Amino acid sequence: MGLDPFWRIATNVRRAAVIIIPMDLSSHGVVALVRNTNGKLLLLEDAREQMKGLWAPPHGRCEREDFTEEAGVIREVKEETGLEVTPIKKVHTQPADTKVKTVSFWLVDCTSTDVTLDEESSACGWFAVEEALGMSLYPGTRLFFEMVRDGKITID
């Protein structure tokens, strides 16, 4: 049926109805790869005590109202940056290094680069992958960027 693998289908044969039941995404996180017109990626410096000073793209845990990963991506980017994005494609999923079990990296389209930070971030900037690898990154972000640099993942 082409549904996201996080969905399951239950069929009631008596009434010949198909019910789509969302799977619980609360143990899954999403990362948004937001690029500017120069192809550089948006990174946020974490202001929270546990991860203070580490940089990562906009990211977060999927919440109960997020029936799809795409909904989680849109919500997280809006909350953390004020930007409106459209998820284009999922480029990679890996074990997470924070509160969730897994995390997916999503390439997104964005029409504006005017970032408004929330209280979770202390700074932001636009960086090429090589520049980002010289920064203090979340461990999972570093792993992802190393795979991009090494040609194991493409974000085009």
Q: Where are the alpha helices (DSSP H) in the chain?
A: 69-81, 129-132, 139-149
| Beta-carbon contacts of residue 105 (< 8 Å; ≥ 6 apart) | 31, 33, 57, 90, 91, 92, 93, 94, 144, 155
Report the predicted TM-score, pTM, of the whole model to 2 decimal places.
0.83
CATH superfamily of 24-149: Nucleoside Triphosphate Pyrophosphohydrolase (3.90.79.10)
Average pLDDT over residues 146-150: 98
Query: Which one is predicted more confidently, 86 or 1?
Result: 86
CB 31 within 8 A of CB 106: yes
**Tell me, what's the pLDDT at 96?**
87
Average pLDDT over residues 38-61: 95
Average pLDDT over residues 136-143: 96
7-11, 26-30, 60-64, 125-129: range with highest mean pLDDT: 125-129
- As given in the structure block, the two tokens for residue 149 are 């640099």
Looking at this protein, which amino acid is placed at residue 97? D
Domain boundaries, the chain: 24-149
Query: How far apart (Å, rounded) are the C-alpha atoms in residues 69 and 59?
Result: 11
Closest C-alpha among 56, 2, 67, 58 to residue 30: 58
**Tell me, what's the pLDDT at 99?**
80
Mean pLDDT of the chain: 88
pLDDT per position as a tens digit, 95-115: 987 788 899 999 999 989 999
Please report which confidence band the pLDDT of residue 21 belongs to, taking 50, 70 and 90 as the band edges: low
Above 80 in pLDDT, residue 23? Answer: no
Phi, psi at 50, each rounded to 5°:
-60, -40
Average pLDDT over residues 30-47: 96
**Tell me, what's the pLDDT at 5?**
47
Please report which confidence band the pLDDT of residue 15 belongs to, taking 50, 70 and 90 as the band edges: low
